[in-house]
Structures are given as C-alpha cells and as structure tokens.
Structure 1
C-alpha cells in the first residue's frame, strides 16, 4: 500500500541562480508529485500527495573569484527556495569553494536564513507568487518538460536501465558542456569570473585544519577499540554479513553493530564483501 510509506518520503533540491525558474521548478515538482501519487499510484491519503522537501543553495554556483559575492548569490537562492515552498533550508558559506568554511562565514550563512525568516515577512504567506502570469506560465512549462523527461526515461525501460545505458550521465555532461560553452563565449555572465573582473583581489582568510584534529580522532578511535568487547564486535559483524548475504533487512543488524561500537569502516567492509563496490561507468 503506497499510503503506508509515501507520507514519510522526502526530497532534496539544489537551488541555483535563475531566481524565477528555481521557484517554478519547485512548484512544478509539487504538482507532478501530487498528480502521480494520486492518479498513477492510487494514493488516497492526502499526506501522500504532499511533496516534502529540503533545499540547499547551489554550491556549484559559488565562485573562488571575489568570494564575498557568494553571500549575495546564496541570499537570492535562499529567497527562491522559501518562495518555492521549501520546508527546510541549508545556506552555503561564502568560502566553500576555497576550503572548509570559517566560523565567520558559517555565521553569515546562518544569519542570511535568520534575516529571511524573521525580518522580511516572506515566510508568512504560502505560495505568495501564485497567480503571477509569468510564474504560472514558467511553472506550466517546466511541468510539461518534466513529464516529457519521465516519458523518455520510461521508454528506455525505467531509471535503472537509463543509468546502465548512460542516459543520465550524458544528460548531465551535455548540460555542463553547454553551460561552460556559454561562459567561454560570453553568452552567460558570472560576475567576477568573466565580467566585472578585478585586476587584483585581496587575500581571503580560510580555515586551516592542523594535524591535531586527526591525531585527536585517532586517539579516540584507539581508545574505543581497546575498551569495546571484541568478541561481541565479531558476532555483530557476522550477523550483518549473514543478513546481507540472505538479502534480509540489514538496518537492525547495522544498529546492533553500532551499539557494539563497530566502526563505520568495519560495517562498510562487511557490506562491500557481500555487495561489492559500485563503480560508475563512464559514458561519452
């Protein structure tokens, strides 16, 4: 029964720079989900028709050049996510193209969300841009294109077949190549990268992680291994191996492993022995 699990499903969306298109994308996705769940999969619980999703601002849009511009990019992307109806949001830090973010840059990313939530009034209204001629037309267009992609995938035999044939990989590669060509031919502007470029940029403070963090973690791991019950660890790992080999639900066995202080590597290694390692094929 689809209604037994569909209300717990959730999605993760990346939000990019094209402000209105990103809002329309999220609106179109909700329409498609509701229609397919109701009409195709026969869901009767209205909760199954609701697309629950989290958004993250697009790290791929951040630039190493003039990195403080990323604060503005992230703010607009966050606004688009909220106007598109996101239930939760992650805002990237300005220096993530250079290194792990500093505490200051993370604070700015957090304050971006807080200003949006508490000062702008934007979250007070559900779907505030609904009814806009432009946005509704854009939503309709993306919805139609999305349904076309679903039909194309199904014509190939479904998602698994499309992955195996390299269809998804080619779509991503073609999109990336098109974007790069537009950038190099100045048909697309990225501020600070191919236009409005500064001759010289001042230094940017980045986070430097010393050897002490790794040393501390190694010491903690050594203490865990020295004090845990080694026999219990072996028993739990063997139970996990058996569950995987018999194609049973491995989650209870993984939880038992964690309770016995098996390491993530040890758990992964057992599963790799049974399932093997996935190597994504390369298609051109």
Structure 2
C-alpha cells in the first residue's frame, strides 16, 4: 500500500471511529464545555493522527540530533553524554554572603553558578549613592568594584565552573571585573566559560533596567561581542532573553518571536560593525521561560531551534554548522508562582523543569517554592536543585534524545508555533526591524494585550489557577521567608568608603578621563573597562562618565 492509499484508508477509519464510537460516547458523557486551547490560545483538537502530518518530511523538519535543523537537539548524544548544567540563580546582600551561598550550592551538587545583582549594580550606581538607599543587596548581590568581585568568586575554580551573570546595562563592566579576577588567579580568558546576559533590547521591551539610549547601549553590546570573539572563545557574549518577555505577560509564541527578533537585531548590528557572522554566532546563546503548558513549552523549544537554524543559514549565510545551533538556558516561571498555597509551587516547578528537559535545554534554573514571598531560603533552594537532580537521575527522560519527538500532537504544535513566530518576525521586519518596532511601541503593546487577556481569563475563572481562583482554602501561609539584614547595606557602604581611601585616586581619575575620551569615539571600550577595574574604579564612577557622554534613556509610554 502506497502512502496515498494509506492516508485514504486512515481517513475512512477516522470517519468511522467518529461516527460509530465517538458519537455514542459523547451522547452519554459530553466533553467539558470550555474549549481546549494552549496557553498561547492555539485550539487543541481531540486527537491527532498521521493525517495532521501528511506533508511532513522527517529529514527536512526534524532530522537527527546534532544536525540541521536541530529540532531534536543541538548535540548528537544530548544528555546521554552530559546532563544539562544545573545552575540556581543566587545573590543577595554583600559579596561575602553570596559567596557562602555559592559554596553551599556547589556542595549540594550544582554544576554551574548564576549571579543575581542588586538594582544599584544593574543600573550603574554605587551603594553609597542617594538613589541606592534601601535597594543595596535586596534583589541580588551588591558589586561596586573589583574588590567585591574578588570576594564574590573567592574559592570558586573559574577554569572548571561556568558562571552566568544576569546583567545588562552594565554587563561590559562586570565582564571586565570577571576577567581581571580570573587573570589574578592565573586563569587566562581563553579558559573561561560562562555567560553575561547583555541583552539590552529586552530591557526596553519588558524589564526596565536600562541606563543609556538604544544607540549607545547597542554600541556597548557590540564592543562586548567583538572583545569576546577575540579574547574569550568559550564565553557567551549575549544571552538573548525571552524569559523576561514571558514574565511580562507574553504568550509562548510571542516570547519565541520577540526573542529571535532581538537575536536578529544583534546579528545585524554586529555585521554592520564589520564582525564575521560565524564568529559572532558562536558567542550568542538564548534564555527562555519554562511555563505551565508542558507540551506547548516543549514544542516552543523545538520550534526555536529549527527557526533559528533557518534564520542563521538563510538570512545571515552563516557557514559553520555551529552557528546554526540555538543553545539555551531555561528558567522555570517566576510569574506562575503563587503566595496562596505556596507548596503547590513545587508541582508547578517540577512540571516546568520537565518541559525544559524534554525540550532539550543546555542549562536550567529551577525556582524555589517560596519566591512569591521573598528570596529563597537555603532549604527551598536545595529542594529546587533536588528537583532537577531527580528529573536527571530518576525519571528516565534523559535516557533517550527528544523522547516526545514523533508525537502527532507535538509535531503539529511545533509546526504551528514556528509558523506563527515566523509571521511575527516578518511583521517586525516590515516595520524596519526590532529597534524600530520597540520605538513604535508595537512589541510592548502586544505583550500588554496578552497580559491583559491572561489576567481577565484568571479573574473570570476561564483559566483555573489552583489555590488562587479555584480550590482555595482559608488556611494561613506557613512558609519561612528569607530576609536580607539591613545592616548589610551599611557594611557595603563602609567597604566602599575604605576602598576610596586606600586606592590610587590619581590613577583612577586618569583612567576615567581616558574612558570619557574613548566613549566619544568608536574605540572598543572593553580594554578601558579592564584597565579601570584594575585601578579599582567603581561601577558608579564609570557609569557616571558614560551618562555624561551617552545621556540617559527615558521611556515613552506605549499606547
């Protein structure tokens, strides 16, 4: 029987099943009235068969792991050779406090580090700046100078442990600090493995920790790309982040489309600056959200790999197969966690982590059950890490590659998500690219509208959130909440005062003047940041110079 006859017979059998089996069952036990849709609003059919994939070419659409179009994974053996990197996002208070948490996590079996920085550090202010009052060490660790970075990384084998730093507007400066710490430990930059987020576009879209206008900000990103391509071959110079886009309220499809559109913008800016496509592509990684709709999330990750491979090969004409690979870190969804019945978050986190693993993540952070209430306690973060370890060692899902691949539903959903994400990218291209789409407020409006629809669905109980709008209890919350000791802010300010008294301030002034002059040219600023860091210039002092030269960005309201 040829393929056409086989599909014809299957169509007849499906019709027969619907008429003679399904119809009578629906009469006795009707399906629930609420229409089944994914989190992105894609209608989910009752059942999927080979008819849904009648035109599906396996080699063209899936291929094999480690080969174009990478739908099934970026490595030929995936987790059978090496598990994903387990890195819990951590940082609070002073560098000493966070260093203790890092060592605790490594002792618990964590295989990589991920640094959370406080808001003053992210926005380029020192701990003693009046604008930083009350925020020092609150949502991350306070890093003012090289002295803090030296303390933060004390005892960490930087040639064996990869470090991810969630930092954007000041990413180039924090990278310079990291390079100098490693250099003083006798570790050359060519041996360093890790990531700086350095994705400024998503700050304008969804997060808000920008400093400078888009033009100078993109200049800093490209300076960093060029520096890493030359000096840090194992370092990811950008982690293009859809995570925060999703946390702001986007759908899975929007998260994918806007993230890849950001990646396209970075590639175009790098090529315009004269950088080679293959050298740049090897320094790019991605960061996605792992949300509640398990199968849609798996399909999203698979579609992301295939779409990016096509973009790199066809749009940018990259020649190296490594340039076609979309490598990504995933984090479970913070916005999905609830303060009500906080123990329910354990189940949400486990399902989200499973989606990331089934989708082929290279690195994973699992949130802690108490994060709707505060920073995670040690017990909570240990359990979050254990969630990954149980999935890795007890669930069996890491034993074969892309274990859900070939599912009629999953493949149909992967195709649909890819098509709809590609349509968004085409619309953004027609506007003149991602920077222009952000300036027009298009991306922000799309996310705002999606967030509004989601909130309405929750309030009207069209979407069930267990413990929040259904299955609620009046029991009080009994979850230990971690708090940052206020005295840590004063300690950080005292250390900063001592630093300024003990360093060579004349040397600092000379280098800051040099930074001022270079910022007014097209000179790559990374080598100057390295020199400034070595003199113990502070992040606030360097950013003050750049603010005078570049100006500051003021957001316009997207209506």
TM band (smaller chain): over 0.9
Cα distance in 1, alignment partners of residues 284 and 296 from structure 2: 24
Match of 2:446 in 1: 171
Match of 1:154 in 2: 429
> Could you tell me how far 1:68 is from its partner in structure 2?
1.3
Match of 1:108 in 2: 383
User: Is 1:15 equivalent to 2:290 in the alignment?
Assistant: yes
User: Is 1:274 equivalent to 2:544 in the alignment?
Assistant: no
Q: Does structure 1 retain, via aligned residues, the 8 Å contact 2:512–2:542?
A: yes
Cα distance in 1, alignment partners of residues 455 and 385 from structure 2: 31
What is the alpha-carbon root mean square deviation over aligned residues? 1.2
**Can you list the C-alpha shifts for 1:88-113, whole angstroms capped at 9, x where unaligned?**
01111111121111111111111111
> Could you tell me how far 1:142 is from its partner in structure 2?
0.1
User: Is 1:81 equivalent to 2:356 in the alignment?
Assistant: yes
> Could you tell me how far 1:248 is from its partner in structure 2?
2.1
Match of 1:203 among 478, 486, 496: 478
> Could you tell me how far 1:200 is from its partner in structure 2?
2.2
Structure with the largest fraction of helix:
1
Cα distance in 2, alignment partners of residues 37 and 272 from structure 1: 35
Match of 1:70 in 2: 345
Higher relative contact order (CA 8 A, sep 6+): 2
Match of 2:531 in 1: 256
**Can you list the C-alpha shifts for 1:156-175, whole angstroms capped at 9, x where unaligned?**
11111100100011011001
- The number of residue pairs the alignment matches comes to 284
Match of 2:521 in 1: 246
Unmatched segments (≥5 aa) in structure 2: 1-275
Match of 2:420 among 145, 149, 160: 145
Match of 2:261 in 1: none
Match of 1:92 in 2: 367
User: Is 1:186 equivalent to 2:444 in the alignment?
Assistant: no
Cα distance in 2, alignment partners of residues 5 and 164 from structure 1: 25
Segments ≥4 residues shifted beyond 3 Å: none
Q: Does structure 1 retain, via aligned residues, the 8 Å contact 2:340–2:477?
A: no
Cα distance in 2, alignment partners of residues 280 and 121 from structure 1: 48
Structure with the greater alpha carbon radius of gyration: 2
TM-score, normalization: structure 1?
0.97
> Could you tell me how far 1:36 is from its partner in structure 2?
1.1
**Can you list the C-alpha shifts for 1:174-211, whole angstroms capped at 9, x where unaligned?**
01000001011110011111011111224321012222
SS of equivalent residue, structure 2 residue 423 = helix
* Range that drifts further, 119-128 or 222-231: 119-128
Match of 2:47 in 1: none
Match of 1:217 in 2: 492
Match of 1:283 in 2: 558
SS of equivalent residue, structure 2 residue 420 = helix
* Range that drifts further, 237-246 or 161-170: 237-246
Match of 1:36 among 303, 311, 315: 311
SS of equivalent residue, structure 1 residue 246 = coil
* Range that drifts further, 170-179 or 56-65: 56-65
Unmatched segments (≥5 aa) in structure 1: none
SS of equivalent residue, structure 1 residue 122 = coil
**Can you list the C-alpha shifts for 1:210-255, whole angstroms capped at 9, x where unaligned?**
2221222222222211111101111121122222111321111112
